Structure 1
Amino acid sequence: MRIPKATLGLISKLLEDLLADNPVVALANIHAFKQASPALEVGKRLQFHDYFVTHLPSSSLHPDPRGPTSSFHKLPRSASIPHTGDTLHSPTLLQNLVGRETTVVRIPLRRAKHHFGAVTARGTRPTNEDTYQAGVIDLPAFAKRPPASLTIKRSNDPKSSADSRESRGAETASGDPQVFYFGVFDGHGGSECSTFLQDRLHEYIQNAAADFELQSSLRTKQQQVNYGEVSSATGSLPVMQEADRKRIGDLEKHLVQNWRRLVGGYFKRFKPPHFAYYGPDNSTENAASTGYVSIEEVLEYAFLRADLDFVKAQAAKQDDDLVQAEKPLNEDEILYNPSLTRSPKIGGRSRFKGGSTGSIAMISTPTPTPFWHPAGPSSLLVAHVGDTRVLLCSTITGQAIPLTSNHHPSSPLEAGRLRRYATTFVTDSFGEERMSGLANTRAFGDVQSKRIGVSAEPELRRIEMGPAEFSFLVMVSDGISGTLLDQEIVDIVKEARTPEQGARDVASFATEVTKEGDNATCLVIRLGGWERRLEGGVGSLGTKESREWRRQDATDPRRSRT
């Protein structure tokens, strides 16, 4: 990696200033600066792109120079004969188009309305605290390897191999198929935390995979080791990938100790469910000796690490420091790198007491065939905190399949988790249970509620999606899921022509019929069964009548008087 001359000059000046002060301190600062600045390390830097790379036929970008030169396509109607498999009435040059060259192109994901749609609305709130993210994450593949029989069958089938040339995505620099990342974040008390997650959470995931030295699941024989939690989606143990188990144990130990020292309370007995390390009293020599890790453990570490950095930054600030509040945010940046500031700037200059819920979905494929292709299998991993919602639409039945559950005090799982730490619940005037005034028992941020157990422990779920098994994936904030039923959301998307239109229709309908007027965000991701989305069950007719009634009731002028 080449370092710009301006950066080299700044580094030289920094070293001169440090050496002029105290050589011992200078050497320590240089070492710390080197460790904290991965951008200056030689090698590949992790990237997150808001576009995906795919193959398109060259004829779609410019005329194919090998195309037929004769005017056979202008024959009179009487001379044209329908094409059949046993006769060839077109010139021989036409057959060359079947194997035409493909061109690698970049397609902005947010503009690919036939693949992805995202809409966010402010509602009646003063500001929009919802954010979302979509792109390709620099992460080793975590998909299951395709069966050998399926691979051999496809390689021996000339027709399928010819089609795959024009229906595959370009591989990443590491040789793996691209891993797609989608996230929706619902802030409360302000947008500082949700914006932080939008900008940084994918970086924490990438850095956690790099720190764990995670290897691709497609290059080595997959392992199923007898430790760790059983996947709630498939009932089988998670897919294990090669990694540096000793380094992972050290990182997890350090993270848990930081939570205990910084927050205490709930975190004094905190044991993340997917961590292999729990402390000196819980030896995991068998797990450490395997040298394998699951992608679920990577995600849990990334979520907790991101939350720790955000909480630590807020704890270091003063509540009513007007002098600091008037200073520019980038005043203390070192070499234009915000991560090296001498004072924490995460979440703004003043202390941010709010937080954010969020859900992310990552999709990995075992082959370059993209996950939206009808013939391509893929692995879906969902990590969820709070009351945002993720839904799948079954191609066969047309039913909405929820992949997340709301982390509220009314949830038996959450109530059992928190009552062990003497947490008390109260019921408000609307009959809803609250914990210290909060509706969510899991969230990022919320500094004042961390000691009683409001953590960012993600609820993880992995789904192995078969070819065209599901039609689309929907991710919404509680401004939509709190107003519409799961099946209503799915049925609205079914009636849309594109995912982009589906997201727009869901947000518009929720904003129209809501009584709260909360921020509304909807993401729709096309899957392999998109073209068959209306075939399952009764299509979108199951909730059509109720949706029409709700729309009429919302526009009734007498409603405002009730």
Structure 2
Amino acid sequence: MTSLAKTSRFLRVPSALCLPSRRNFHNYFVSHLPSASLFPDSRSTAGPSAPNRDLTVVRIPLRSAKHHFGVAVSRGQRIQNEDTNQAGTITMPAFAKRPPISLVRGQDAAAAAKAAGIGTTAASALGDPQVFYFAVFDGHGGTECSDFLRDELHGYIEQAAADLQLQSSLQKKDDPKKLPSSLQDPSTLSSPTILPQHDHEVPPSESSTPRPLRLQSDLLQEYRRTIGGYWRRFRPSCFTIPPIPSSRDPNPPPPLTSQGPITLETVLTYAFLRADLDFVTAQARDTRVLLCETKTGLAVPLTADHRPSSPTESRRLRRYLSDSLVTDSFGEERLHGLANSRSFGDMGSKRIGVSAEPDIVRVDLHPAQYSFMVLCSDGVSGTLSDQEIVDIVKEAGTPEEGARSVVEYATEVSSDGDNATCLVVRLGGWERRCEGGLGSMGTKEVREMRRVEAEDPRRRGR
């Protein structure tokens, strides 16, 4: 699972409210290894395929797993680096269509491995496979917001999954497994510490409304009271909430008494909006996510720049603020002068329609279908094409080397010296990353030409 965010202008958070986070983010993943591979016992007479070998659970620091994950950072020519990133595992129910399968080939070998517990994915506290969390945050005008998201956003997602009662997609309805008591009671999870939590008494008329629906409705009401403007009429498409009451209506609609299934989209949207509202109350450009398709070697973008002129954003904004979009002298639509329409922070822009609502894309990752995933800030995506980024990573021996090469090249050919962050995640087709299409040669000539131009002061910037 991936999560991206952008930051924009903001007010400095009062120091009295900047409490240290109490969340214990897991920056490691868990794996099962045969005990014999860690502590060989020469006295053992059991064969290598014996199905009763004990397993040892090991914690592997993700940032030390160079063959699975890599990240590189450069401040470019800026005074400071405002980009941040995060990587680890989070505690939440699974949302995959099917459980992960063993990588052992052959039916006999797979059966033996299953009996021995070898090659299976270590389960989380929920009884589900681990959920990996990777994020890049592009700060703009300071580091407070990007640092806040790095330290807290994963906690908001975990909290939202518990509060909204997200159910595992891999456990059957009659599965006797239940969530741990610490997750059944959301009050036992530490809440984000940027602001004190507001406790609201539930009116008697809302006592029949399910708690997840009340939380969604209360969040939007807080946006209306705190920010207003665009948010007075805003309703996320993935929310199932009671109708908005009107002060002019003498007979307000009754509250909802039932709800549909809570989806991953609902949880992520709620978490992003909740984090944004908390930060704005206390008080850009886009990041990019790419996949490399193993078969073709092509870059597959998962995100799109949130420009007011894009079809999705234009429809969203014109639905509520038809008179707020203007066209500048270059023919580009802007929202009250802003080129971006989604970000965290910036209370003033929230009033006119800038939103922290996530743009969610689901991708089913089949075995070896994709070689790797790249997350990068605009210091990379604003300088290099998607295919250039992917081709540079193909030439690297490890994800860390690939991330470092992307940042070094982007910094070398950049014309504005923006902060640059690149995060590379190894996927099933990593070993075959150069087999598809032209491999890394597709953009090699272009990259070499750009490097030569960057070294020539007479041609740079043309």
TM-score, structure 1 as length reference: 0.66
Give the equivalent residue in structure 2 for 1:553.
453
Structure with bigger gyration radius:
1
Correspondence for 1:509 among 403, 409, 415: 409
Q: Which residue of 2 aligns with 1:333?
A: none
Q: Measure, in 2, the Cα distance between the counterparts of 1:143 and 1:245.
A: 29
Distance apart, 1:163 and its partner CA: 4.2
**1:302-350 per-position Cα deviation (integer Å, ceiling 9, x unaligned):** 1111111111112xxxxxxxxxxxxxxxxxxxxxxxxxxxxxxxxxxxx
Describe the SS at the equivalent of 1:103. strand
* 1:103-118 equivalence runs, <5 A: 103-118=56-71
2:290 to 391, 396, 400: 391
AA at the equivalent of 1:440: N
Pick from 300, 305, 308 the counterpart of residue 274 of structure 2: 305
Match of 1:326 in 2: none
User: Are the counterparts in 2 of residues 67 and 97 from structure 1 also a CA contact under 8 Å?
Assistant: no
Instruction: Supply the AA of the counterpart residue of 1:540.
Output: S
How many residue pairs get matched? Answer: 398
| AA partner of residue 390 (structure 1) | V
Change (3 A) 1:536 1:275: same
Question: Aligned to 1:493, what secondary structure does the other structure show?
Answer: helix
Residue 51 (structure 1) aligned with residue 25 (structure 2):
no
Partner Cα distance (1:306, 1:388) in 2? 18
1:133 aligns with 2:86: yes
The alpha-carbon distance between structure 1 residues 97 and 308, as it changes in their structure 2 partners (threshold 3 A), is same
Which amino acid in 2 is paired with 1:425? Answer: V
Give the distance between the partners of 2:355 and 2:168, measured in 1 at CA: 30
Aligned residue for 2:307?
A: 408
Query: Equivalents in 2 of 1:156, 1:547: separation in Å?
Result: 43
Aligned with 1:415: secondary structure? Answer: helix
Cα separation, partners in 2 of 1:554 and 1:283, compared to 1, 3 Å: farther
Distance 1:284 1:66 in 2: 73
Larger deviation, residues 97-106 vs 410-419: 97-106
Post-superposition CA distance 1:87-118 (Å, at most 9, x none) = xxxxxx65457875432111100111100011
Counterpart of 2:15? none
Kindly indicate whether the alpha-carbon contact (under 8 Å) linking 1:276 and 1:284 is maintained by their aligned counterparts in 2.
no
Change in CA separation of 1:532 and 1:313 when aligned onto 2, cut-off 3 Å: same
Give % identity.
Answer: 59
Alpha-carbon separation, structure 2, partners of 1:156 and 1:499:
29
Judge conservation of contact 2:377–2:421 (CA < 8 Å) in 1.
Answer: yes
TM-fit CA distance, 1:522: 0.5
Which residue identity is paired with 1:105?
A: V
User: Displacement of 1:54 after TM fit?
Assistant: 0.4
1:466 Cα deviation (Å)? Answer: 1.1
Work out whether residues 409 and 425 of structure 1, in 8 Å CA contact, stay in contact via their aligned partners in 2: no
Question: Which one has a larger percent helix, Structure 1 or Structure 2?
Answer: 1
Q: CA deviation at 1:46?
A: 7.3
Contact 2:394 2:433 in 1 (8 A): yes
Q: How does 1:473-492 map to 2 (within 5 A)?
A: 473-492=373-392
Q: Which amino acid aligns with 1:279?
A: P
**2:218 maps to 1:254:** yes
The verdict on how the C-alpha distance between 1:251 and 1:497 changes in structure 2, with shifts beyond 3 A counting, is same
Give yes or no for contact 2:341–2:355 (8 Å, CA) kept in 1: yes
| Offset of residue 290 of structure 1 | 5.2
Offset, 1:215: 2.1
Distance of aligned partners of 1:96 and 1:257 in 2 relative to their CA distance in 1, 3 Å threshold: closer
Moved more, 97-106 or 202-211: 97-106
Aligned partner letter, 2:300: I
Question: Which of residues 276, 300, 303 is equivalent to 2:240?
Answer: 276
**Contact conserved, 1:58 with 1:101, CA < 8 A, in 2?**
yes
> By how many angstroms is 1:197 displaced?
0.5
* Structure 1 unpaired stretches of 5+: 1-38, 40-44, 69-92, 223-243, 315-356, 358-385
- Structure 2 match to 1:425: 326
Cα distance change on mapping 1:291 and 1:455 into 2, 3 Å: closer
Q: Are residues 419 and 196 of structure 1, via their aligned partners in 2, closer, same or farther at CA, if it must alter by over 3 Å?
A: same
| Residue 293 (structure 1) shift | 1.0
Distance 1:436 1:131 in 2: 28
Whether 2:73 is the aligned partner of 1:120: answer yes
Q: Which runs of 5+ in 2 are unaligned?
A: 1-20, 175-207, 246-251
Amino acid at match of 2:287: T
Shift of 1:250: 0.5
C-alpha deviations, 1:198-230, integer Å up to 9, x for none?
A: 0111111111111112221111259xxxxxxxx
Question: Where do residues 323-402 of structure 1 align in structure 2 (5 Å cutoff)?
Answer: 387-402=286-301
| SS of structure 2 residue aligned to 1:134 | strand
CA distance, structure 2, for counterparts of residue 129 and residue 280 of structure 1: 39
Distance across 2 between alignment mates of 1:61 and 1:194: 40
SS in structure 2 opposite 1:444? Answer: coil
CA distance in 1, matches of 2:457, 2:50: 61
How well do the aligned residues superpose, as a CA RMSD in angstroms? 3.0
Deviations 1:214-267 (A, max 9, x none): 221111259xxxxxxxxxxxxxxxxxxxxx981111111101111111111101
Determine if the alignment matches structure 1 residue 470 to structure 2 residue 389. no
Partner of 1:18: none
Q: Deviations along 1:179-210, whole A, 9 cap, x unmatched?
A: 11111100111111111100111111111111
Q: Is the 8 A contact 2:128 2:168 kept in 1?
A: yes
Farther off after superposition, 56-65 or 276-285: 276-285
Cα distance change, pair 263–217 in 1 and its aligned pair in 2 (3 A): same
Aligned with 1:62 (options 32, 35, 39): 39
CA distance in 2, matches of 1:290, 1:248: 8
Q: 2:107 aligns with which of 139, 157, 170?
A: 157
Which of 204, 225, 231 is equivalent to 2:156? 204
1:559 shift after superposition: 2.9
SS state at 2:89 partner: strand
Query: Residue type matched to 1:450 in 2?
Result: K
C-alpha change, 1:533 and 1:66, in structure 2 (3 Å) is: farther
